[in-house]
Chain A
Amino acid sequence: MTTKAMYSPAPPRPISFAFLAQIILIMNSFIMLYPVVVMVFSAFKSTGEIFEHPFALPDFTQVQNFTRVLGETSMPTYFVNSIIVTGTSIVLILVLGTMAGYAVARYESRTNTFILLFFLAGLMLPLKLAVIPLFILLRDLNLLDSRWSLIVTYTAIGLPSAVFIMAGFLRSLPSELEDAARIDGASEPRIMWSVMLPLARPPMAIAAIQNAVPIWNDFFFPLVFIQTDDYKTLPQGLTTFMGEYTTDWGMLFAGLTIAAAPITLLYIALSRQFIQGMTAGAVK
C-alpha cells in the first residue's frame, strides 16, 4: 500500500501534515539513539573529559577504557557465562519444544488437548513469582549457584512459547510429505528428522530470537540464584562492575558499551527477524 494511492483524495493542507510528522519522527529517533551514541562516545573518553565536555566528539584512538575493562575486570567471564547460559537454554528450548510440538501436531491423541492446555498454563503464569519454591528446589537438586540453575529456569520459561510456535507451524505442513516417506518405508524418527524438521527452520528461528533476547538480558534470576562471581552473567556482572568503578565514568561507559554491543549489532544486522521474533507473542 503506497502513501500516494491511499491519501491522494485528501485536500491539501496549509501546514503539511507530512512535514510535521517527519519532525516528530526525527525528534523521536534522536531521543532513541542519542543516549546510545553518548554512551559509546563517553567510552572513548577519560572521566575528566566526560565531566568537562560531555557532548564533544571523542578521540576514537583512545581505547584504554576498553582494554582495561577486558583486561582488568571479570567482564570477559560474565560474557562467556552469558553465551553459555543463553546458548544452552535456547538449544534445550528448541529440542524440547520441537519434540512436544511435533507430537501434538503430527500424531492424533486424546491427550493432545490436555498437553496443549498444560503448556498454555506455563505461558500465562509468571515464574518470577514462584522464585522462592524454585530457589528451594534448585538448592535440593544441588543446582543453586551454578549456570544450570539459570539454564533450567530459562528453559522452563521459554518452552511453552516454543511448543506453540512449533506445533502451529508443523500442523500446517501437508501430510502428503509424511505419507510419501512412509510408503518408502521410512521410520517415524527418520520422517521427523529428515523430512519434516528441515522445513521447520523459520519457526525455530522465531522461537530462538523470541527467547534469546529476554534470556540474554535477564537480571532477576541470576540475582537470586548466583553468588559466585565466576558464574555471573553479563547483566548481573554489570551491577558488580558498576559498583567497583563508581567514580571512573570512562570505565563505566566502556563496560556498558561492551555489554550492549553484541545484541545491538546483531539487531541492526537482523532487524526484521528481531522485530518479528520479539513481537511474535503480541502480533497475530
Chain B
Amino acid sequence: MPVSPKQARTLKHRSWVAFLIVPPVVFMSLFVVYPILSAFAYAFYEWQGLARGEFVGLENFREVLFGPTMAPVVWNAFLHNVYALVALMIIQNGGGFLLAWLLYKEPFGFRFHRLAVFVPVVLSTIIVGFLWKLFLNPNFGIVNQALYALGLDSWAKPWLGDSSTALGALILANAWHFIGFPTLVYLAGMQRIPSEIIEAARLDGTNEWQLLTNVIWPLVAPSTTILFTLLFIGAFNWFEIPYVMAGLDGSPFGSTDVLGLVFYRTAFGNQSASIQNFGQGSALATVIFLFIVVFASMLTLWLRRREIQF
C-alpha cells in the first residue's frame, strides 16, 4: 500500500482514518448489531406491553413451539411457508431457468422480452398485492371476467375467499412479481459459459435437451445456489403478499397464514388493544432466524458441492 509505515503512525493520519471508519461502524453497531443481539435476549423475558418484566428462561420458546394456543397456529403457518417454498422453487426458479434458456439464444425481440419480464420486479409488493386482489375479485375481477368471456364459467371461483385456492393464488401472485429476478440471474450465468464449451458439445452431436440438462444446468450451478438460498430466506420471511391479499389473520380460516403474519400478530397484534406480546414475538423471531441460518447454510453448502469450476 502506498502509505509508508512512518506516515501511518502519525497522529494526523490516524485521526483521518478514524474519521472515515468510526461513524459507519458506530452506526452499524447501534442499529444492527445491538438490535439483533437484544432480539435474542428479549426472548427470555416476560413482557408487559413495552416494559420488560421477569426473566422466564425458555418459557416463551416452549409456549411458541409446544403451547396449546400458539403451537397449532405456528405449525400451521410453517406448513404454508414450506408449501410456498416448494411451489416457488418450481414455478419461480424453475420457470426462470427455462425463460433464461429461451432468452439466452437471443431470439427476435430479445431486448423487449428481457425488459418485460423484469417490469413486475421493480414494482412494490404492495402494488402487486392490491392489483391481484382486485383482479381476483369474484364478481368484477378480470380473472373471472376472462373465464366468463371464454365460456369457462365453471372455472370461475372466489379465488381468495376459498380456502382451497387462496394460498395458491398468493403463490402465483408472488411468482408473477419475482420470476424476472431468477430469469435474469440465470441469463447472466448462462452468458458467462464460454462459447467453446457449447460449440464442443454441439460438435459431439448433443441434442437440445442434452445440452440443457448435461451442459447448461451444471454450469449455471453457482446461480442455482444463490437463487435457491435467496428463495429459502424469502419464503420463510414471507409477509407482504399475504398481508395485503389475505389480511393479518391469513383468511379464509387461516388457510394463508404464514410465519411472518404470526410474528407480526404476536408482537404488534393490536396496538390499541395492547394484546402484543414482545416475549413470545422475540422467541418466534429467534426460532425463525435460527431455522433460516441453519438450513440456509446447509442448503448453500450442499448446493456449492455440485458447482463446477470453469
A216 neighbours in B (Cβ, 8 Å): 124
Is B71 part of the binding interface, using a Cβ–Cβ cutoff of 8 Å?
no
**B42-A35 in contact (CB<8A):** no
Is A83 part of the binding interface, using a Cβ–Cβ cutoff of 8 Å?
no
**A224-B31 in contact (CB<8A):** no
**A132-B281 in contact (CB<8A):** yes
**B134-A252 in contact (CB<8A):** yes
Is B223 part of the binding interface, using a Cβ–Cβ cutoff of 8 Å?
yes
CA distance A56 to B267 in the complex (A): 46
Residue of B nearest to A238 (CB): B126
Would A188 and B28 be within 8 Å (CB), given that A28-B99, A252-B130, A259-B124 are in contact? no
**B181-A278 in contact (CB<8A):** yes
Residue of A nearest to B43 (CB): A132
Partner of B126, one of A31, A39, A137, A235: A235
**B28-A271 in contact (CB<8A):** no
Residue of B nearest to A177 (CB): B2
**B233-A126 in contact (CB<8A):** yes
Is A44 part of the binding interface, using a Cβ–Cβ cutoff of 8 Å?
no
Q: How many A-B residue pairs have CB under 8 A?
A: 265
Interface string of A205-247 (1 = CB under 8 A from B): 0000000010011011000100000000011101100100000
B1 neighbours in A (Cβ, 8 Å): 106-108, 175
B184 neighbours in A (Cβ, 8 Å): 275, 279
Task: Give 17 new A-B contacts, CB below 8 A, not counting A104-B21, A106-B2.
Answer: A22-B108, A25-B103, A28-B113, A55-B145, A115-B25, A122-B32, A126-B289, A132-B42, A136-B50, A156-B32, A179-B2, A188-B13, A239-B126, A259-B126, A274-B122, A279-B188, A282-B185
Which positions in B face A, CB cutoff 8 Å?
A: 1-3, 8, 13, 16-17, 19-21, 23-25, 27-28, 30-36, 38-39, 42, 50, 99, 102-103, 105-109, 112-127, 130-132, 134-135, 139-140, 142, 145-146, 149, 176, 180-181, 184-185, 188-189, 191-192, 195, 198-199, 202-203, 208, 222-223, 226-227, 230, 233, 237, 239-240, 243-244, 263, 267-268, 278, 281-282, 285-286, 288-289, 292
